[in-house]
Structures are given as structure tokens and as C-alpha cells.
Amino acid sequence: MSGGRLTLDDIADARAYERERDEFRRYIIELKKRRRIGVGPVISLVFENRDTIRFQIQEMARAERLLSDEAIQVELDTYNPLIPAPGELSATMYIELTDRSEMEHWLPRLVGIERAVQLEITTPADHGSGPDVIPCVVDEAHAANLTREEVTAAVHFVRFELTPAQVEEFRTGRVVLATDHPQYRERTEIEPESRNSLLGDLTGWIRGPQLG
């Protein structure tokens, strides 16, 4: 199963992690290639799962030399909410800016962007009625810490909650990841390789059913 919270037993100690790190890191790099989706010129979303979050915690523990159960538990409590349950997608959204002038241009304009992300699913059964639009859900605690009235943060966390019918639409239809913000209206179709990976989250399995 792909879901389920991580526990202390899932986090390798420092010596054990060093032995597996190179292989695990290569795996995560390839995994994130399928799960990183760009939307427009400066925004990308990386869809998280149990493996990506475990990697985040292991790397945090390695970099900060977190050795006690208590310190690791703090990281587990912080990052476990980003693991999607079946029927959910969870993503870290990055505003990817490389210099000060870009930050000064974009960050004030994109206040509220974390509430403007949506999935648009179109199936043949829609008969021209338009896509099924699934707005993102924002974690209010994270949002309170990340966004100010005058400027937005460069990183946000968003989640999508799909009904069983919408999961089936996701499997069979055309899926677009979009932003509907006054200063940033962009759309990107999710390619089959990425959708296969995300279907694993939605159905609760590590590998989702293959698309035709």
C-alpha cells in the first residue's frame, strides 16, 4: 500500500541510511521526475507520497544530525500530513524564481496562489458540458505561516480530494492541472506517465493501473 503514516520504525538510523542512501536517492530522483508537473513559467508541483516524504525526513535527519527518537518524531509529525490517503493527491507547490528581480515581480502578484490550483478532468461522457473541476484544499495551519497580505511564500502545500467517481474519471479522462489566479492563469495537461504514478496514490497502491 502507498498510504499510511510513517513511524519511527520506518526511519533508518544514520549508519543504516548511509548504506541505502545512494540507491534510495536514485530511486527518488526518478520518481520525482514523473511526479513534478510544471504549470506556466514559474510554478511547479511535486506530488508527494510515502517514499518522497520518507526521503525528506531521512535527509533532514542526516543534514541536521537528528539522532534521538524525540527529534525524529518532530519531523514525522511535521511531514506525515503530506502523505496522501487513498482518494487524495498531495503536492508541494514551488514558485521557482532565480533572482531578486523575479522575486520582486512575482511574489507580490501571487498572493493567494495556493488557493487557486485545481484539477480539471474531461471525459467523453461530458458531452461538451465542461470539465469536472476539483479545487485544491489548503492546510490552514501551513497557510497561516506561509502567506502574508503583501507577498506570498515560495513554497506551499496543497491537497486534492477526489470522490470514487472522480478517481475513475482521472483514470479514463483528460486531466489538466491549472491555476486560476488573476495574475497567473495557466494550464498543463498531465501526461500518462505522471497520471499512472498519481493513480497509485488515488487507489492506494504503489503502482497505479496502466493507461491505454
Q: How many residues does the chain have?
A: 212
Encoded amino acid at 36, one letter: R
More confident residue, 146 or 132: 132
Residue 19 resides in a domain: yes
Q: What is the pLDDT of residue 210?
A: 37
pLDDT (tens digit, 9 = 90+) per residue, 13-26? 999 999 999 999 99
CB of 187 within 8 A of CB of 176? yes
CB of 176 within 8 A of CB of 188? yes
d(CA 110, CA 30): 30
pLDDT (tens digit, 9 = 90+) per residue, 150-203? 889 999 999 999 999 999 999 999 999 999 999 999 999 999 999 999 999 999
pLDDT (tens digit, 9 = 90+) per residue, 41-86? 999 999 999 999 999 999 999 999 988 999 999 999 999 999 999 9
C-alpha cell at 9: 520504525
Angle between helices 164-172 and 192-203 (to 10 degrees): 160
Q: Indicate if the pLDDT at residue 108 is higher than 90.
A: yes
Angle between helices 69-79 and 50-64 (to 10 degrees): 140
Q: Indicate if the pLDDT at residue 109 is higher than 80.
A: yes
d(CA 56, CA 155): 15
Residue 56 resides in a domain: yes
Residue 68 resides in a domain: yes
Give the total number of structural domains in the chain. Answer: 1
Q: Indicate if the pLDDT at residue 3 is higher than 60.
A: no
Dump the DSSP string for the chain: ---S---GGGS--HHHHHHHHHHHHHHHHHHHHHHEEEETTTEEEEEE-HHHHHHHHHHHHHHHT--SHHHHHHHHHHHGGGSPPTTEEEEEEEE---SHHHHHHHHHHTTTGGGSEEEEEE-GGGTTS-PEEEE-EE-HHHHHHH--SS---SEEEEEEE--HHHHHHHHHSEEEEEEEETTEEEEEEPPHHHHHHHHHHHHTSSSPPPP-
Q: Which domain holds residue 125?
A: 8-203
Q: What is the pLDDT of residue 123?
A: 87
Q: What is the pLDDT of residue 124?
A: 76
d(CA 112, CA 110): 6
Residue 85 resides in a domain: yes
Residue 1 resides in a domain: no
Q: What is the pLDDT of residue 207?
A: 43
Q: Indicate if the pLDDT at residue 206 is higher than 80.
A: no
Residue 2 resides in a domain: no
Q: What is the pLDDT of residue 141?
A: 66
d(CA 143, CA 147): 6
